[in-house]
Structure 1
C-alpha cells in the first residue's frame, strides 16, 4: 500500500498517532469503531468542518452550498443548482441524521437550521 508522495500525508504515521492517542484513554472498541465509521465518509467530514468553521447555526441549504464548494474546489458562482441540491438531499437524508444521532449536531427541521453541539 502506498500513499501519494505529493500529498505529504503519511497514513501509517497518522494511524500510529491515533493508536497512541487511544492508548491514553479507556475507550470501548465499539465506540472507536463507530467513530471511525462515522468519519470514514468525506462528505460527513466536510459537513463537520463547515460547522466547526462557522461555529454557529446555519441553514442546511447554506451548509450544502459550502460542502459543495469544498468538494469541488469551485466558487459558489460556478456551482450548478443541481449539484447543490444533490448535496442537500444527501446531507438531509443520510449524513445529518447520523450526526444528530451521535450528538455532534442539532437540527431544527421547522427552520431547516443545523447547529453545532457544544462539547465541554
Structure 2
C-alpha cells in the first residue's frame, strides 16, 4: 500500500480507540448514537473545544468569534462581521441548545453567557 492511500494515519488509530471504548458495557447504543450525533458537526466540536480552552464563562459573541477563527484559520480582524454573526446565530439557534440539552454546556440567556458544564 502506498502512503497516499492513508493520508491521515492517526485516523485509523483514533477509530480503533473509539471502537475499543465502544466495547465497554457501560454505554447503551442510544447513548453512543447520541454522543456521535452531537460530535458529528464540526461547529459543535469547535464550540466544545473553545469552552474547554477557556474553562470558564464566555459571552456567546466571544465564543462565536473564537469558533469563526478556528473554522477559518484567520485572525478575528480578518473575518467579516457577517461571518461572525452567522456563526453566532447558528450557535444560538441550533448547536448551543443541543449541547445544553445534553448537559455539556450551560447557557444564561439573560446575560448571553456560555459556561462549561460537564466538559
User: Structure 1 length as normaliser, TM-score?
Assistant: 0.89
Q: RMSD in angstroms over aligned alpha carbons?
A: 1.6
How many residues are treated as equivalent by the alignment? 116
Aligned to 1:12: 12
CA distance in 2, matches of 1:89, 1:9: 35
Aligned-pair distance for 1:3?
6.5
| Unaligned residue ranges in structure 2 (runs of 5+) | none
Map Cα deviations across residues 60-114 of structure 1 (whole Å, 9 max, x no partner): 0000000000000000110110000000000000000000000000000000000
Aligned to 1:28: 28
User: Structure 2 length as normaliser, TM-score?
Assistant: 0.90
Alignment of 1:51-90 (within 5 A): 51-90=51-90
| Unaligned residue ranges in structure 1 (runs of 5+) | none
Aligned-pair distance for 1:25?
3.9
Aligned-pair distance for 1:21?
1.6
CA distance in 1, matches of 2:75, 2:12: 33
CA distance in 2, matches of 1:31, 1:59: 29
